[in-house]
Amino acid sequence: MKTTPNHLFQRYGIYGVLVLLVIVLAIVSPVFLTGANIINILRQVAVNGIIAVGMTLVIITGGIDLSSGSLLALSAVVATSLAHPGGHGAGLAVAAGIGVGLAMGTVNGVLIARQRLPPFIVTLGMMTAARGLALVYTSGRPVIDLSEGYDRIGGGYLLGIPVPVIVFAGVAVLGGALLHGTRFGRYVYAIGGNELAARVSGVGTRGILIRVYALSGALAGLAGIVLSSRVMSGSPSTGVGYELDAIAAVVIGGTALSGGTGRIAGTIAGALIIGVMNNGLDLLNVSSYWQQVAKGVIIILALLLDKTSSREK
Amino acid sequence: MLRLTRISKSFAGVRALDQVTLEARAGEVHALMGENGAGKSTLMKILSGLIVPDEGAISIDGEELMMTDPRDAQRRGIAMIHQELSPVPDRTVAENIFLGKEPCYPGTGFVNRGAERRAARALLERLHIDIDVRTRMRDLSLARQQLVEIAKAVSYDPRIIIMDEPTSALAVREAEHLFALIRELATRGAIIIYISHKMDEVFRLADTITVLRDGRTIDSRPARDFTADTLITAMVGRELAARYPKEEILPGRVSLEVSGTGVHFVAREGEILGFAGLMGAGRTELVESLFGLRPFDGGEIRIDGARVLIRKPVDAIGAGMALLTEDRKLQGLNLKGTVKTNTSLASLAGYCYAGGWLRPRMEDQAVDHMLQYTRVKTTGRHQPVSGLSGGNQQKVLLARWLLTGPRILLLDEPTRGVDVGAKAEIYALIGELVRQRKTVIVLSSELPELLGICDRILVMRGGRITASFDRADFSQEAILSAAMNE
């Protein structure tokens, strides 16, 4: 009874849009559907996609994380500084990068869950502070000259697939399993739907919220490692605005900013749509200025679409 | 003269109003009575343009109205004062009164704040309301906000004013002020449609009483032709005993002992213990304290004789308690979730492998079984819970708690906003629970309900338990007088 065309469209429309986009680009550009180009798209999407998975959880709780881009930079400089040739191995660098994201994310979570501060403000503060820390740590200069092991994270291949793509896929699968297959995931939805009701039902809402922001921070840290290793430098000014790209992917993927609904698969589709579009416009020699306009229009279209299809009853 | 003729309205196939007719003359206070779910609110929403009826007609002075929007009603001189207020808290009284019709300097969009203040002051003076129009709404008591809200309605110079339980937040003295105001408005020729559950108010104020029951007009006569008894019979339609079937179950040993400041009581296995009291008497606060939702200062809780420490809801659930909260939408349901996710929320730990991985089949089986047990009418566990009727939503919440296997159930207004049929099912369910030797504590503002189903009733006033009645000694008058300050 509830499978009206509108419902189907709301739930699966975003995948349709992605397929349509791919078909159109395949027709207009002979290069688009080549293996090399697809790999290229996936590699470009990976960083945004990794952040967007964490962002999805945050937004489902009804919150927002504006600090992702800065935490990415902080993680990048910390990790690269530990990855000098002849220094420690890549393992320590990776652990430190993720750890710094995790720690800062936990700070976000504690302030939001325990002090009841609004997520927008807390993470806005963290965005500024973490960027500052990255600059302080490096005196504003990018860290270059990295060890070979670290290079391979962003530049290496496994079975012909770039490592960043594998990391992204792993994060997406684990994120989806966590959100859709565990008690924790169920509580994330419950908090976004009605936090008070969740609390009355015995859900430890604070602990869940802290973990959600910690996870978002850790994934931003992971993205920082992938990115810095791909470009072979840890720059304190990298990742500016990446949180907004991640939010865009989440929103295009059908997750409402008001919380309580959303799916990881939608977010992946949203990230892919952004990536495919950028790539397609590149292939068509559209200027990057116009690409930015197109991205903005897509975000707003996605919202309009979502709104008109959910207004039916 | 206002005339509502043969108004019918159905929601999702359920008939809320069935050929309802109502007539009110200019200058009269017309009370609309009926139980929760009788259709009063729906009828008034139709009259104020919020809902379009399926059939029927509304006319004022013989002129038929077509209203599809609250603004249509406003233009026709119909004003509604809602049970829930809707002030803009950080704006002043004057700004709230003139919201949407601010006096402006001619030809500009700039508000003439001086004129606004003067007009507001004149209005309040005319209504004998003594409030400084420069006060922020936030700084007024609920009762005084209510008066401002009424002044706002009057500022449209309406011919018809609908008041839905206007005294529910007022103290006695403030209510007196409101009554004088209502009388005065009626004297000036307005029609006042007055919805209230309080008999004494209705008999004091109303010229005419119309009684609705199950969506139909049952009776409409001058108020003096009614007595309290005939009015209740008209509203209820059947004897109390028939509405509240009660099985005799002998309460067993003490399961719950509570002692705190002003609140000492025990509850037994197989017992239905009622809590009566006026709004704000502290009943909800008490059960929330028991459940770890607010601190229970200096209080002690014993279950089966053993002291339990409850600091958060999960402790209470672990101790075998369940709390059906007063406000279904605010504290109960996740309206964005499905029937399933709402039902299993409090007992998810029971359907998990180690590490928190859900066992979907186990969860589905438990949910389906409980939905059947509580007789939730749903198209399936994946239905959005927002699509259920109030009664079925309430049963989903009961199912949620029953899945935790509680021994002591705290039910705060278990039948509020629930239709008659679902009420009966909830009572039957409560009966079934005490037969299983569970302890059921019911908080209700409907005294007949408590009288009907409880073994014992405790009365609260000002945060304290002031009286206790065994079923043999139940008397509406005695309980009411213990609840009020006498």
Tokens of A281: 């416009």
Of A160-169, B105-114, B334-343, B428-437, which range is least confident?
B105-114
The pLDDT value given to residue B406:
96
**Is A287 part of the contact surface with chain B (CB cutoff 8 Å)?**
no
Residue pLDDT, tens place only, A282-307 = 888 888 898 889 888 888 887 777 66
List chain A residues with CB under 8 Å of B334: 189-190, 193-194, 197-198, 260
**Beta-carbon separation of B333 and A194 below 8 A:** yes
Overall average pLDDT of the A50-69 stretch:
97
Cα dist from A213 to A110, A118, B69, B115, whole Å: 9, 13, 44, 51
Whether the predicted pLDDT of A80 surpasses 50? yes
The residues facing B161 across adjacent strands are B79, B192
DSSP state letter for A142: P
Q: pLDDT tens-digit profile of A247-277?
A: 999 999 989 889 999 999 999 999 999 999 9
Integer Cα distance of B216 and A265 in angstroms: 50
Query: At B85, is the pLDDT very low, low, confident or very high (cuts 50, 70, 90)?
Result: low
User: What residues of chain B lie within 8 A of the CB of A184, using their CB?
Assistant: 356
Say whether residue B294 is in contact with chain A using an 8 A CB cutoff.
no
Tell me the pLDDT of chain A averaged across its residues: 90
Q: What is the residue type of A12?
A: Y
pLDDT for A90 equals 83
Please name which of A276, A231, A223 lies closest in space to residue A249, comparing C-alpha atoms. Answer: A276
pLDDT digits (tens, 9 = 90+) for B277-313: 877 788 999 999 999 999 988 889 999 999 999 999 9
A window 190-219, beta carbon within 8 A of B: 190, 192-194, 196-204
- Amino acid B161: pLDDT: 92
- CA R_g for chain B: 25
CA-wise closest residue to B215 among B416, B4, B391, B14? B14
Write phi, then psi, for B82 (nearest 5 degrees). -80, 160
Residues of chain A with C-beta less than 8 angstroms from the C-beta of B314: 202-204
The answer to whether residue B156 scores a pLDDT higher than 90 is: no
Q: Supply the pLDDT for residue A212.
A: 98
pLDDT averaged over every residue in chain B? 88
A interface mutation test: which of B317, B328, B338, B348 has the most A CBs within 10 A? B348
Of A1, A186, A200, the CB nearest to B325: A200
Q: What is the mean pLDDT of residues A65-77?
A: 97
Weakest mean pLDDT among B48-62, B70-84, B332-346: B70-84
pLDDT at B34: 82
The shortest CB-CB distance from B334 to any of A184, A197, A204 is to A197
Predicted confidence (pLDDT) per residue in B186-226, tens digit: 998 899 999 887 777 889 899 999 999 888 999 999 999 99
Residue from the list B314, B325, B349 with its beta carbon closest to the beta carbon of A183: B349
In chain A, which residues have their Cβ closer than 8 Å to the Cβ of B404? 202
Across B56-75, average pLDDT: 87
- What does the alpha-carbon distance between residue B39 and residue B17 come to, in Å, rounded to a whole number? 6
Burial B41-75, CB ≥16 within 10 A → b, else e: bbbbbbbbbebebeebebebeeeebebeeeeebbe
pLDDT at A3 over 60: no
- Chain A residue at shortest CA distance from B335: A193
Q: Do A199 and B293 touch (CB under 8 A)?
A: yes
What pLDDT, on a 0 to 100 scale, did the predictor assign at position A11?
A: 63
Which of 230-259 (A) contact B at CB < 8 A? 259
DSSP per-residue letters across A165-227: HHHHHHHHHHHHHHHHHBHHHHHHHHHHHHHHHHHHTT--HHHHHHHHHHHHHHHHHHHHHHH
> Does B334 sit within 8 Å of A193, measured CB to CB?
yes
**According to the model, what pLDDT value does residue B280 have?**
77
Q: Which pairing describes strands B29-33 and B208-213: parallel, antiparallel, or unpaired? A: parallel
Residue B266, both tokens: 């025990």
Model confidence at B459: pLDDT above 90: yes
Return the amino acid letter for B244. Answer: Y
* Partners of residue B383 in chain A, C-beta under 8 Å: 2
Q: Is B386 on the interface with A (CB under 8 A)?
A: no
Q: Can you read off the two tokens belonging to residue B336?
A: 């964005």
Which chain A residues have a beta carbon less than 8 Å from that of B337? 189-190, 193, 260
| E runs forming strands in B110-187 | 160-164
**Closest partner CB to B334 (pick from A1, A184, A190):** A190
**Contact check, Cβ <8 Å, B355/A182:** yes
3-state secondary structure of A271: helix
pLDDT digits (tens, 9 = 90+) for B336-388: 999 999 999 999 999 999 888 999 999 999 999 999 999 998 889 999 998 88
Per-residue pLDDT tens digits for A135-158: 999 998 998 888 878 888 888 888
The model's pLDDT over B161-180, given as tens digits with 9 standing for 90+, comes to: 998 877 766 666 777 888 88
B330 inside 8 A of chain A by CB: yes
On the question of pLDDT at B47 being above 60, the answer is: yes
Q: Is residue B452 predicted with pLDDT exceeding 80?
A: yes
Q: Looking at the complex, does the CB of residue B13 fall below 8 Å from at least one CB of chain A?
A: no
Residues A201, B313: C-beta atoms closer than 8 Å: yes
| pLDDT confidence of residue A312 | 39
Q: Is B325 on the interface with A (CB under 8 A)?
A: yes
Give me the mean pLDDT over the B241-260 stretch: 84
Least confident of A218-222, B26-30, B239-243, B380-384: B239-243
Distance from CA of B352 to the nearest CA of A (A): 7
Check residues B265 and B99 and name the one with the higher pLDDT.
B265
CA torsion B136-B141-B145-B151 (nearest 10°) is -100
pLDDT tier at B261, thresholds 50, 70, 90: confident
Strand partners, B396: none
Residue B460 DSSP label:
E
Give the nearest partner residue to A183 out of B312, B313, B356, using CB atoms. B356
The alpha carbon of residue B14 is apart from the nearest alpha carbon of chain A, in Å, by 17
Q: Which residues in chain A have Cβ-Cβ distances shorter than 8 Å to B331? A: 194, 196-197, 200
How many C-alpha atoms does B81 have within 13 Å on its Cβ side? 30
Determine, for residues B358 and A260 on separate chains, whether the beta-carbon distance falls below 8 Å: no
Do residue A190 and residue B337 have CB atoms under 8 angstroms apart? Answer: yes
